[in-house]
Amino acid sequence: MMPRERPLSPHLQVYRWQITMTMSILHRATGCALAAGAFGFAWWLVAVAIGPEAYAQFTGFMRGPLGLAALFGFSFALLYHTFNGIRHLLWDVGYGYEIPKLYATGWAVAALTLVTTLALWFLGWTGDVA
Amino acid sequence: MSARAPNLRDPLACARGLGSAKAGSHHWWMQRVTSIALLLLAPWLIWIVLHLLRADHATVRATFAHPLQATLAIAFVVSMFWHVKLGLQVVIEDYVHGWMEIAAQLANSFACILGAVASLVAIGRIAFMA
């Protein structure tokens, strides 16, 4: 006989929204997205190795609307995961556990991600980079 | 963690150093090691993507064929797929259970290793057949 489904604790929906939980969920979500991005990066290298036709196929996809949307998502995810990853590494060495610092570093990561993502796309879009 | 913190382990456990976590501490540590490697390589990744954004196949191939770029690309690909494997493993442990979990963990390992090997073969072919 299957045991009756009992309510599980804690319920996510009883919590008042906090930036800390959003940052935590986003860190995992961007990590999963970047896992897909890793295979996109592998596709890039493999296409270069195979030859001009395979590379044209790759760039054809990446320069289309779907490819650009994916690239935008990956760039955002990469920057977020990188900045929030630094936050995680700081916790690992014992820095920033106080509630005010937790909130301040959270907002700093959000601001840095926004600014650097936009800056990156401005650089890429206007062309002539390095 | 100060040196004066109470230590409940016996001297032999301290000497062995691993506690009860065994492979778990290795997973945790390698996730940090690969994250720091990726942190150091992130500027290179952003640079090379921006640099090659509009380049044709021959230029991209020649860029990756340079020993410095090939070396950094290998370092990046290995750290990236290693980090992806460790991260997805934890996500699977949290949400997938029973036989599905074993299947998902195997799929994760095989996919990440294949992605890394394909990238390495591609970089090798580009670098050695330039």
pLDDT one-digit tens code per residue, B58-68: 999 999 999 99
Inter-chain Cβ pairs, chain A and chain B, closer than 8 A: 84
DSSP class of residue A129 equals -
How many Å is the maximal CA-CA distance in chain B? 63
* pLDDT value at residue B4: 61
The reported pTM is 0.86
Most confident of A13-22, B9-18, B88-97: B88-97
- What are the start-end ranges of the H helices in chain A? 19-50, 52-62, 65-92, 99-126
Q: Note the pLDDT tens digit of each residue in A3-61.
A: 777 766 666 677 788 899 999 999 999 999 999 999 999 999 999 999 999 999 999 99
Task: Give CB contacts under 8 A, 24+ apart, made by B6-15.
Answer: none
Nearest CB partner across the interface for B122, out of A31, A48, A124: A48
Q: State the smallest CA–CA distance between residue A109 and chain B in angstroms.
A: 15
Nearest to A78 by CA among B66, B114, B76, B63: B76
CB contact under 8 A, A45 and B81: no
Confidence at B77, pLDDT banded by 50, 70, 90: very high
Distance CA B126, CA B115 (A): 17
Chain A: residue whose CA lies nearest to B108? A35
- Res A9: pLDDT: 66
Residue B58 neighbours by CB under 8 Å, 6+ apart: A52
Instruction: Please give the residue of chain B at the shortest CA–CA distance from A58.
Output: B57
Which chain A residues in 59-98 lie under 8 Å from chain B, judged by CB atoms?
Answer: 78, 82, 85-86, 88-89, 92, 94
